[in-house]
């Protein structure tokens, strides 16, 4: 497999794990229901995403920086909604 | 910054984003409550994690393979519990 094909698979993976948070955010926006959603999960996850973002800056990877910037924004939204509708 | 220091930050990030799913899994196991938890999120996320795992195999990265193997197992647990207690 060519390196660009491998990178395409990596970018697809990043797009999927980033996009995954969109249906969760929409579900809470629609239902205002967060019972069952773990706040601890999102706080640990957000800390991890910030760490990935720093790693992306250090290794100068645009894909890592971009994916974690978008994921971080989505997670801030989920955390705010969880705190609002608890 | 030395390359090993950068990789240590990357591994910390991977550990955090993997460990984040543990409190969610424990919360559902304890409360059997999944209202508010988006099944679509976990299905898209699991597809992304499988893609990351394949990417890890292709680039021969033990960190990417290991992190996504553990995350994938945790997600299967959350998906099974969500389907059981919906």
pLDDT tens by residue, A10-68 = 999 999 999 999 999 999 999 999 999 999 999 999 999 999 999 999 988 888 899 99
Please report the pLDDT score of residue B51 as a whole number: 97
Chain B residues in contact with A28 by the CB 8 A cut-off are: 36
pLDDT at A3 over 90: no
Encode A66-82: b = buried (16+ Cβ within 10 Å), e = exposed. Answer: bbbebbbebbebbbebb
B83 reaches A (C-beta below 8 A): no
pLDDT digits (tens, 9 = 90+) for B11-65: 999 999 999 999 999 999 999 999 999 999 999 999 999 999 999 999 888 888 9
* Contact yes or no for B74/B25 (Cβ under 8 A): yes
Q: At what angle do helices A21-31 and A3-19 cross, to 10 degrees?
A: 10
- From A18, A34, A14, select the one nearest A73 (Cα to Cα): A18
| Predicted complex ipTM | 0.91
Please report the pLDDT score of residue B3 as a whole number: 87
A44 reaches B (C-beta below 8 A): yes
Minimum Cα–Cα distance from A42: chain B residue:
B20
| Cβ contact, residue pair A13, B51, below 8 Å | yes
Please report the pLDDT score of residue B41 as a whole number: 97
**CA–CA separation, B62 and B45 (whole Å):** 20
**Topology classification of domain B36-86:** Monooxygenase (1.20.1280)
DSSP state at residue B35: T
For chain B, domain boundaries: 36-86
**CA–CA separation, A82 and B4 (whole Å):** 37
More confident residue, A21 or A3: A21
**Topology classification of domain A38-86:** Monooxygenase (1.20.1280)
Minimum Cα–Cα distance from A22: chain B residue:
B41
| Cβ contact, residue pair B36, A38, below 8 Å | no
Please report the pLDDT score of residue B77 as a whole number: 97
Helix (H) or strand (E) holding B65: helix B62-84
Minimum Cα–Cα distance from A1: chain B residue:
B58
Chain A residues in contact with B31 by the CB 8 A cut-off are: 36
């Amino acid at each position: 497999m060519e390196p660009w094909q491998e990178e395409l698979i990596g970018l697809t993976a990043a797009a999927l794990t980033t996009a995954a948070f969109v249906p969760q955010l929409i579900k809470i926006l629609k239902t205002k229901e967060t019972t069952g959603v773990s706040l601890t999960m999102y706080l640990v996850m957000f800390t991890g995403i910030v760490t990935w973002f720093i790693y992306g800056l250090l290794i100068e990877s645009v894909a890592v920086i971009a994916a974690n910037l978008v994921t971080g924004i989505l997670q801030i939204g989920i955390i705010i909604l969880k705190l609002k509708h608890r």
